[in-house]
Every structure is written in C-alpha cells, then in structure tokens.
Amino acid sequence: MVKEVVIDPITRLEGHGKIVIILDDAGNCKRAYFQLPELRGFEKFAEGRHAEDMPQITPRICGVCPTAHHMASTKALDDLYKCEPTPTARKIREFVYNAFMLEDHALHFYILAGPDFIVGPNAPKAERNLLGVIGKVGKDVGLRVILMRKKLREVITMLGGKVIHPVFGLPGGVSRAIKQDEVGKVKEVAKEAVEFALFTLKVFKDIVLSNKEYVNLITSDAYTHRTYYMGLVDEKNRLNFYGGKIRVVDPRGAEYAKFDAHQYLDYIAEHVEPWTYVKMPYLKKVGWKGFVDGEDSGIYCVAPLARLNVSDRMATPEAQKAFEEMFSTLGKPVHHTLATHWARVIEMVYAAERMKELSEDPELYSPNIRNLPTAVPDVGIGVVEAPRGTLIHHYETDERGVIKKANLIVATQNNAARIALSIDKAARSLIKKGKVDDGILNMVEMAFRAYDPCHACATHTLPGSMPLAIYIYNEEGELINILKRNTA
C-alpha cells in the first residue's frame, strides 16, 4: 500500500486542490475526483456597482490574468452602451492583448510546463523545478525569457497604464493614443517578440518533439479525450484572441455551432455535482451525460488546443506553418490534452506575428481613439480568449448603468468537466495495485497542469505553490491514506 508523505507546514489547504481516489479491492483506481476552489461570490459582489467600474474591478479577481478580465469587461461595456470602439482603439486593444497573451504563454511554457517537458516527467522531484529547467536550457535562455517578458510588460504598461490591472479600456475606445515617441518602442518590441516566439518554437521542437518518450507521453491514452472544443474565430474561421464568433467543433472536428456572444446561454448550460462547488458548463443541446467523452457528451474544452482545433487556419504565416505541422503530425482535431503545450507555443508565434502586423499598421497610431457612448444601458456581453480559454462577462444594468445582475464564465470553469475527466482517467490509468508514489502523483498532476487552471484565490499570497491533498479511500469508504504535496 502507499507510503504516507506529509510535508509541513501545511498552508492554505482550505478551499484548495483536493483529489479523492477510490481504490477497488485490488488496489486499482476505481474513481478519482478533483475538487477545485471556486470563485466565491464575485457576481454578487458586482451587484449595485456602476458597470463602468467593472474593467477596473474585475481584473482584481486575479493577479495573473487581469488583462483578460479587463478586456472582456471593456467589451461588455462597448456592448452595454452600444458603442463600438474606433478602428484605432480596437487595434490598440488587440496589440496590448496579444502582448499579454505572449507573455503569459511564455511564462507557462518555460516555467510551468518546463519541469515536465524540458526536465522530464520522470526526473527526480528535486530537479523538476525552475532550477532544473534553467540547468537544462542554460542561463542565457533563461535570461532571454525574462528580458522578453520584461519588454512585453513595459510596452503593456506604456499603452495600458498598468500591467496588473490595466486602466486603458473605456466603452467605445481606449484612454490614450500612442504617442509619436512611443512608435519606435512598439515596433521594436513587436519585432523582437516574433524572433523570441520562433526561438521558443525551436526549443519546443528540439527538446520535446525530438524526444520519442515525450511524444509517446503526449499521445498516450491516459491523456486523451474525444470531446467538443470551443474558441473564438474571425470571419474566415481563423484564431483570434480578441474578437469574432464563438465556434464549437465536435469530436470529429466538424463544426457543431458558431454563434455570437449574445447567444451563449442558448448553447451553454451548467451542471452541478454534489462533490464540488465548481459549476461545470456543458453544451446544452448535447446534454450532460456524466464524465464521459464522445459525441453524445456535452463536455467541451477551451484553451490553446481547443482554439486551434476550432480554427481552419491561422491568420499569420509562421503560425500557419506551425499549425500545419502539428495537425499533420497528430491529426485534426487533436484530442491529446498534453498537446496543449504544443498549441500554446503555436499561439505564441501567432500573438507575436499579430503584434508585428499591428505595429506596422499606420492606423494603430491615429489619435482617433474613442467613440462616446450615448445609449441608455441595459445588457452588455463581452467575450475574449483568455490564455486559459473563452472568457465571458455578462452585465445587466438599470438605466443609470448600475449592475442588477452579473454572470462571468471564466476560462477554467469551461474546462472544469474536462479537467475532472482528465484526472479520473489519468488516475485510473496510472494507479495500480495501490501504488501511488511521487512519480505517479506528478503524472496525475500533469493531466491538469496542461490546462494551467486559473484559481483566483491564489493571487499572490506568500507561498505560491498550490497545496494539493490526495485522499485515498477503499471500496467501503474508509480513508486509508492522505498524501499532501506542494504545501510549502
């Protein structure tokens, strides 16, 4: 039977990740449940507040992806006040947003996925960390990542006011135009971003794709689910982080639906399970059939892999080449959760190329940055692709713009059912005869690490690691072991 591992001091365990594993008489995993913290009461908190404050309030939900909330909220205000941004404002927003996506994806690839795919999933625990990643790729690469990230943040700060909790989005536009003396910096950072993204793609190919063991892991059945996929696409069904329509493809890759953000409630319903507070969105018309994949199950997936699965092609040349390479290697749609890391790197290339395209567009530098709202507000819905998937903000207000009702579907929530499915499948595949050691635990964690789950309550409190407790029960429901890890 498993050996108990307890790491002290236990911090922030309350409300945090918990996996419950039920073993059968032979010690094999019969069922695994993954419980996540839920965003507690933000919609209630929003009621009675002025909608125009939401782009400043909602980014505080999270210290890691505030720009996504700021942008979704700003777009909801455009809609609420029936006031489209000017072409320049839209382009400035999109430039900032792509800079944010690139920075966030780079962080995930090098810092979070790195220990699994650069150091290796079976490497000793002591090496599966940041130091291990730097040891493998070298300090020069580490420095390059940090410096690129710094430059991206500087340009976001310059255009957005602040990196964390940006303040530039207004209904109908943005708060400031790009100044003449800032043009050079915008162009320089965009150019460097493309070089950096292509370099990262090379790192991924050299280290991950050239390693047969990693490729086998990515394509293994333990990490494969044939679900629906959702993401924003433009009018040519190309990936777009900022706008467009929500497209859903079925497990065969055929278009199941394509709809405007205003119709999201026609397509998405939420299922409640007795063992978690997280509501699990599913495709309403397909229905909730439990934690199973396949065409009859309404479980869907968002985030990088889903976005590429719903796109017919990419809008930029180098990203298109990388897109073709991934799908010619793995087929389309790709159902392997761990291929999310590959998709993320392709999205980095797209984000950087899009920044460069925008930086070369004279309209980006026009002073025409705002249409003034004049309509009486009622309902506003905004959607963007956050790094971790489709993010929807929905506000209903009185005629003064005071919020009567708010609904947020955050990216990780969209993925909640698929994450639960991933954990269960990985645990069933990997836990045999009661053996649950650190290596197996890491492999189970890998099943949800690919999604980069977003838990707003962990913004920055001192210990950054996610405390995770694994409770193991026998078939009679008796608790036979608790494993605790990453508890600082």
Partner 1 sequence: MRRKPLVLFLGNSLLSDDRIGLELGMRLKERLEQRGYEVKLEEKAGLALLDYLWDRDEVIIVDNIKTGSHQVGEVFTPSVKELGTTTVVSSHYVGIPETLYLLKALDLNLQCRVHIIAIEVDDPYTISEKLSTKLKESLAKITEEVYHKIIQLCEPKG
Q: Which residues bind partner 1 (CB under 8 A)?
A: 9-15, 17, 37, 39-42, 45, 57, 60-64, 104, 107-108, 111-112, 115, 125, 128-131, 134, 139, 142-143, 146, 149-150, 153, 163-165, 445, 448-449, 452-466, 468, 486-488
Q: What is the dihedral of CA 90, 94, 100, 101, to 10 degrees?
A: 140
Q: Is 66 helix (H, G, I), strand (E, B) or coil?
A: helix
Q: How far is the CB of 163 from partner 1 (least distance, A)?
A: 7
DSSP-assigned letters across all residues of 390-421: EEEEEEEE-TT-BEEEEEEE-HHHHHHHHHHH
Segment holding 153, helix H or strand E: helix 139-160
Nearer to partner 1, 61 or 334 (CB): 61
Contacts of 398 (CB under 8 A, 6+ apart): 404
Place of tokens 């320049």: 88
Nearer to partner 1, 91 or 455 (CB): 455
Q: How far is the CB of 410 from partner 1 (least distance, A)?
A: 12
Nearer to partner 1, 109 or 214 (CB): 109
Q: How far is the CB of 11 from partner 1 (least distance, A)?
A: 5
Nearer to partner 1, 197 or 248 (CB): 197
Q: How far is the CB of 143 from partner 1 (least distance, A)?
A: 6
Q: How far is the CB of 262 from partner 1 (least distance, A)?
A: 27
Q: How far is the CB of 287 from partner 1 (least distance, A)?
A: 30
65 and 454 in contact (C-beta within 8 Å)? yes
Nearer to partner 1, 218 or 423 (CB): 423
310 and 247 in contact (C-beta within 8 Å)? yes
Q: How far is the CB of 304 from partner 1 (least distance, A)?
A: 14
Q: How far is the CB of 365 from partner 1 (least distance, A)?
A: 27
Q: How far is the CB of 136 from partner 1 (least distance, A)?
A: 12
Cα 23 to Cα 262: distance, rounded to the nearest angstrom: 44
Strand ranges for 276-414 from DSSP E: 280-283, 300-301, 379-386, 389-397, 403-409
Cα 398 to Cα 214: distance, rounded to the nearest angstrom: 54
Burial (Cβ within 10 Å: 0-12, 13-18, ≥19) of residue 461 = exposed
Nearer to partner 1, 115 or 389 (CB): 115
33 and 275 in contact (C-beta within 8 Å)? yes
Residues paired with 394 in a beta bridge: 381, 407
Q: How many CB atoms lie within 10 A of CB 428?
A: 16
Q: How far is the CB of 52 from partner 1 (least distance, A)?
A: 17
H helices, E strands: number in the chain: 15, 15
Nearer to partner 1, 12 or 258 (CB): 12
Cα 253 to Cα 59: distance, rounded to the nearest angstrom: 34
Q: At what angle do helices 340-359 and 183-203 cross, to 10 degrees?
A: 160
Q: Is 34 helix (H, G, I), strand (E, B) or coil?
A: strand
Cα 211 to Cα 219: distance, rounded to the nearest angstrom: 13
190 and 355 in contact (C-beta within 8 Å)? yes
Nearer to partner 1, 14 or 235 (CB): 14
- Of the candidates 377, 466, 409, 480, the one whose C-alpha atom is nearest the C-alpha of residue 34 is 466
Nearer to partner 1, 125 or 236 (CB): 125
Nearer to partner 1, 143 or 292 (CB): 143
Q: How far is the CB of 284 from partner 1 (least distance, A)?
A: 28
Nearer to partner 1, 64 or 218 (CB): 64
Report CA-CA distances (Å) from 86 to 76, 91, 177, 191, 372. Answer: 15, 9, 11, 25, 10
Nearer to partner 1, 22 or 130 (CB): 130
Q: How far is the CB of 130 from partner 1 (least distance, A)?
A: 5
